[in-house]
Copies of this chain bind each other. A is one copy, B any other.
Amino acid sequence: MRELTRAEEEVMQVLWKLKKGFVKEILEHFDEPKPAYNTVSTIVRILQDKGFVSHKAYGRTHEYFPLISKNEYSKMHLSTFVNDYFSNSFEKMVSFFAKEKSISVKEMEEIMKIMEGEVKKQKAK
């Protein structure tokens, strides 16, 4: 699957938030300075061509919605990143950030708790 360009990603972020929306609605959720209506309209049609969104037609107006969830996309995106920067090892990545103190003690404790639960769940099978 392709990666989103910067402009495409901004539109997707709005669509993920809204779940679905008309061009007008998407536009409203942009920060100032807002792009032109047609700019958003074009991008959303490009996203459609690339298979990231689809639409439901109400007469002549289109309500767009994502075909890929934010979670799916982030999963794909992070996989690429982990592959390119941490030789495909999730562990290397997390360890690096833990050591870099980008993760607080509180966060680490929370993560460990969740992982313990997951490990238990996996092993139970």
Which residues of A approach B to under 8 Å, CB–CB? 9, 13, 70-71, 73-75, 77-79, 81, 84-86, 89-91, 93-103, 105, 107-112, 114-116, 118-119, 122-123
Contact = CB atoms under 8 A, between A and B. Distances in A.
A85 to B, nearest CB: 4
Nearest to A70: B85
Given A108-B118, A114-B95, A84 B13 contact: yes
Contacts of A108: 115, 118-119
B115 A111 contact: yes
Contacts of A75: 97, 100, 102
Contacts of A73: 85
A5 B94 CA distance: 25
Given A70-B85, A77-B81, A119-B108, A90 B95 contact: no
Given A90-B102, A95-B114, A81 B84 contact: no
Nearest to A107: B91
